């Protein structure tokens, strides 16, 4: 089996595990991606198999704690599939989700395409191409039985642990003059047996959610990928992930920038 065919096989294995709600210990040695580039090549199979146009992108490991947790050296990108994207107030199942966490995040919707180029994009250029800011909640998961042992290339291949995504309404346009790095976020879990909350801020996301967005743009550019108009980019957890159980309701409160919620069933 040639290398391209081996990586296609890796994509098929991960897609099948995702759809069936099963896990694997590791990809077969002959199909295992060995570099970030090969990981992204495998990951592209998820977009090819999705039932609709790509909804957007996620960034994982945007904090040192997150990088240590999944044993990667820096942030990584994953694809948000349209059939896994939901509006605020959605009810999601935890029946096949082993991570069982919810992550309050700043998300951005793009106003125009940002094509690949040789020079890195600046904050000003990315801001000019951004249409809106949204409060969001990511509900990640992995197709590996122990994702902490998978390694960077396999985690990228596993779509950077993307699973379900919940998008809130657009924030008021004064978000553009708001210091997002200092903006406070409160995540709250209310369930049948306990209620708790955690505070965070935009500084948890590579120091600033806008810095994370620019990182994603330039990561895609280096891979020859265009970030498309109307695609959404969610920039990473700005609180410690919220552990959730069936029956829980999660509210991510971004203050004057809005709120987003999700409920969980078995």
Using DSSP, how many helices (H) and how many strands (E) does the chain show? 6, 13
Q: Structurally, how many domains does the chain consist of?
A: 1
- Residue 179: pLDDT above 80? yes
Q: Looking at the domain assignment, is residue 166 inside a domain?
A: yes
First vs last Cα of the chain: how many Å apart? 41
The whole domain housing 132 covers 52-265
Q: Is 70 exceeded by the pLDDT of residue 118?
A: yes
Answer whether residue 198 is part of any domain.
Answer: yes
Check pLDDT > 80 for residue 111: yes
Owner of token pair 């998961």: 141
Q: 209 lies in a domain?
A: yes
Q: What average pLDDT does range 119-131 have in this prediction?
A: 98
Instruction: Please compute the mean of the pLDDT values over residues 97-123 and round it to a whole number.
Output: 98
Rounded mean pLDDT, 249-263: 98
What percent of the chain has a predicted confidence (pLDDT) above 90?
91
Is it the case that residue 62 has pLDDT exceeding 90? no
101 contact partners, CB below 8 Å, separation of at least 6: 139, 140, 241, 242, 243, 244
Give the DSSP per-residue string, 6-30.
HHHHHHHHHHHHHHHT--BS---GG
Residue 99 and residue 70 in contact, taking contact as beta carbons nearer than 8 Å? no
Dig out the tokens for 210 from the structure: 């806008």
Listed in sequence order, the DSSP H helices in the chain are 3-20, 36-49, 64-70, 123-128, 152-157, 209-222
Instruction: Give the number of C-alpha atoms closer than 13 A to the C-alpha of residue 259, restricted to the C-beta side.
Output: 11
Is there a domain that residue 162 lies in?
A: yes
Task: Round the CA-based radius of gyration of the chain to a whole number and report it.
Answer: 18
pLDDT at residue 14 tops 90 = yes
115 CB neighbour count, 10 Å cutoff: 12
Residue 1 has pLDDT above 80, yes or no: no
Residue 70 counted as domain residue? yes
pTM (2 decimals)? 0.96
For residue 26, give both structure tokens: 């590791």
**8 Å CB contact between 35 and 42:** no
Q: Is residue 202 part of a domain?
A: yes
**Res 245 pLDDT > 70:** yes
d(CA 89, CA 86): 8
- How are beta strands 76-80 and 56-60 bridged, if at all? antiparallel
pLDDT at 201 over 80: yes
Whole-angstrom distance, CA of residue 96 vs CA of residue 235: 24
Residue 144 sits in a domain whose CATH number is: 3.90.850.10
Helix axes 3-20, 36-49, angle to 10 degrees: 50
Residue 2 is assigned to a structural domain of this protein: no
Rounded Cα gap, residues 137 and 234, in angstroms: 9
Distance CA 63, CA 69 (A): 10
Does 22 reside within a domain? Answer: no
- CA neighbours within 13 Å on the CB side: how many for 64? 2
The mean predicted confidence, pLDDT, of the chain is 96
CA–CA separation, 100 and 243 (whole Å): 6
Cα–Cα distance measured from residue 165 to residue 171, given in angstroms and rounded to the nearest whole number: 17
């Amino acid at each position: 089996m040639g290398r391209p065919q081996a990586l296609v096989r890796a994509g098929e294995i991960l897609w099948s595990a995702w759809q069936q709600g099963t896990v694997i210990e590791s990809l077969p040695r002959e199909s295992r991606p060995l570099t970030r580039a090969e990981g992204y090549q495998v990951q592209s199979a998820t977009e090819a198999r999705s039932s609709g146009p790509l909804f957007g992108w996620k960034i994982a490991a945007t904090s040192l704690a997150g990088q240590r947790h999944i044993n990667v050296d820096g942030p990584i990108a994953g694809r948000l599939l349209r059939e896994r994207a939901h509006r605020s107030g959605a009810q999601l199942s935890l029946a096949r989700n082993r991570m069982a966490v919810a992550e309050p995040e700043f998300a951005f919707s793009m106003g125009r395409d940002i094509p690949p180029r040789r020079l890195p994009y600046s904050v000003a250029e990315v801001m000019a191409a951004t249409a809106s800011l949204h409060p969001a909640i990511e509900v990640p998961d992995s197709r590996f039985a122990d994702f902490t042992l998978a390694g960077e290339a396999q985690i990228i291949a596993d779509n950077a642990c993307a699973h379900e995504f919940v998008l809130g309404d657009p924030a008021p346009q004064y978000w553009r003059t708001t210091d997002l790095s200092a903006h406070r976020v409160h995540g709250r879990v209310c369930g049948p047996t306990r209620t708790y909350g955690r505070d965070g801020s935009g500084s948890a996301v590579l120091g600033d959610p806008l810095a994370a967005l620019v990182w994603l743009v330039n990561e895609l550019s280096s891979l020859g990928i265009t970030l498309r108009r109307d695609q959404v980019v969610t920039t990473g957890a700005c609180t410690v992930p919220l552990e959730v159980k069936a029956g829980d309701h999660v509210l991510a409160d971004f203050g004057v920038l809005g709120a987003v919620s999700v409920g969980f069933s078995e």
